[in-house]
Structure 1
């Protein structure tokens, strides 16, 4: 739970369109909602931020304390976070910067707000710099209008496919930096280990939530009106279990990227991505015709007296 002071800041922020007084008056402030690494409960924290072009940067300063703040541990376990900025609310992927990119971004932060440099001087740990990337489907240009449950399913699938493509692109960048490096020390260019891990974890958690929602709510609801499709849903549930196995293998594969053989790593990643994309294709073929006439968002249920 937020401290009484933090709760008062949160309440004031939401009541006044992102404007607060007191020690935060005039500063750049947002509300970050993370999912507890252990509890699974939502936690909202008011945090200062620094802009870097289109990016929003957070620093895990904890005011120079020896431990990383709780919100940082939470986003490492659950990378998709909710951001409240002024009157706007959106989901974002939280990606800690590494290596040279972390140094570059931290230098930018300190130039914008020298207090972060003072926090770094107080502690022996390296203050994390976290980049917030808006979690929006990449292929929706212009944005696709969501009118039916079929549209909503495609929106989710588009985001999932985009994350898989990003994992592949960042993996290629990681191996290219390794191949180009000569001499001792860390390879030049951005370190991508955490970046790839966060994106993969976001993909896997989003897919797991998507499948849980289908198995628990969507499939039973459709089956009540289409009992002849019971076998179809049974096969999809079985496929969900197979996909969960592939997801676990994907996370394990990416954990070893730092020492992996590039050719074998790419082959395994491509095989897993093909299997996951084939599942999405099969799900669309099975479900889209059934969902094309179901309005989204669903109409509110009428209340009955008694």
Structure 2
């Protein structure tokens, strides 16, 4: 049985293809699942949202309270979130808008739902506006159909390379904009913005998950059938450790809301690009061909026949909190 207002709304949402009654009746409602900033536990919150062209916007109003809602702090720590709208479920990259873009999107949100203006009037904090972008290696459609484990590994590699290129392009665009500034007014802030931070943090977390899965499952499974490749797996493991050290340096630089040391971040990103691309090239040369005959998704094992007569085979301001109605 549901034990809170949020749980009641979530249960009704999922039972009625995204339609609910009460205070949300007739409005645009989604379910946002974030990962707790401190606990690492998944938490689902029903939130109102606003569409702006092809964008989905969330406003961190917390009903005008003085602190940001818990889900906002959670997505700053873990930018990849799960979104449910109607009967659709997908992963998204959560990117808070900044500066003039934030003001433009907030003005649109107020035109669509004037209550957001009332919430802003109740508090001195600037209500964050979060843009949800479709972006994840499992939901992303790469080139060609995925039929084998080799295809799947290549799909993830292509996604990782693409995300790294996108972060690098955004960083270079920031430096180019500063270099080209001739006034009047101030040049772009030296600290890199939230969009770069969120995209890079999501990339680092996806890369860590990918390499952990390879070290824990994929590589040991292949090694059992190809014991002569011991040196190859030793080299791949060493490269994983090298990439992990660079990744840790990047994550350390991402610890704040902005990236306070853009020049250092840029140099670490260049180092990551070189090391990771060389690693992926080597893995694709030595390991991926061995996976070309392994079907994907895996074929489930046939269960044994059953015997005769048997039965068969965080609080607001710190993250983690759900906060009813904290859109």
TM-score by length of 1: 0.89
- Map of 1:35 onto structure 2: 35
What is the alpha-carbon distance in structure 2 between the residues aligned to residue 166 and residue 3 of structure 1? 43
Equivalent residue for 1:298? 298
- Asked which structure has the greater RCO (Cα within 8 Å, sep 6+), the reply is 2
Q: Deviations over 1:181-210 (max 9, x none)?
A: 62455639xx95111111111111000000
1:220 matched to 2:190? The reply is no
Secondary structure of 1:46's aligned partner: strand
- 1:230 and 2:225 matched: no
Alpha-carbon displacement from aligned partner over 1:56-85 (angstroms, at most 9, x marks no partner): 111111111111111111111111111111
Instruction: Assess, with a 3 A threshold, how the Cα gap between structure 1 residues 213 and 141 changes in structure 2: closer, same or farther.
Output: closer
After superposition, the Cα gap between the structure-2 partners of 1:68 and 1:182, relative to the gap in structure 1 and judged at 3 Å, is same
Distance (whole Å) between structure 2 residues aligned to residue 282 and residue 120 of structure 1: 53
Distance 1:251 1:40 in 2: 16
1:1-306 pair list within 5 angstroms: 4-136=4-136, 144-179=144-179, 180=181, 182-185=183-186, 187=188, 193-252=193-252, 257=259, 260=262, 266=266, 268-304=268-304, 305=306
Task: Give 4+ residue runs of structure 1 displaced > 6 Å after superposition.
Answer: none
Change (3 A) 1:258 1:69: same
Once the two structures are superposed, residues 94-138 of structure 1 have per-residue CA deviations (whole angstroms, 9 ceiling, x without a partner) of 11111111111111111111111111111111111111110156x
Asked whether the 8 Å contact 1:30–1:47 carries over to 2, the reply is: yes
In structure 2, distance between residues paired with 1:20 and 1:251:
39
The separation in 2 between residues aligned to 1:295 and 1:270, in whole angstroms, is: 35
Instruction: Compute the RMSD of aligned alpha carbons.
Output: 2.4
**Partner Cα distance (2:203, 2:142) in 1:** 23
* CA distance 1:200–1:103, shift in 2 (3 Å): same
Secondary structure at the counterpart of residue 130 of structure 1: strand
Bigger fraction of residues in helix:
1
Kindly indicate whether the alpha-carbon contact (under 8 Å) linking 2:82 and 2:91 is maintained by their aligned counterparts in 1: yes
**Contact 2:243 2:272 (C-alpha < 8 Å) held by counterparts:** no
What are the Cα deviations for residues 236-282 of structure 1, in whole angstroms up to 9, with x where unaligned?
Answer: 11211110011123334567855645xx8655533331222112212
For the structure 1 residues 3 and 37, does the alpha-carbon distance in structure 2 shift closer, same or farther, using more than 3 Å as the test? farther
Segment drifting more, 175-184 vs 37-46 = 175-184
Asked if structure 2 preserves the Cα contact closer than 8 Å seen for 1:149 and 1:294, the reply is: yes
Which whole-Å CA distance do the structure 2 matches of 1:181 and 1:60 have between them?
A: 35
Query: Whole-Å Cα distance in 2 between the matches of residues 64 and 24 of structure 1?
Result: 18
The question of whether the paired residues in 1 share the 8 Å contact of 2:27 and 2:48 is answered with yes
Segment drifting more, 51-60 vs 216-225: 216-225
Query: Whole-Å Cα distance in 2 between the matches of residues 181 and 15 of structure 1?
Result: 57
CA distance in 2: counterparts of 1:270 and 1:291, whole angstroms = 30
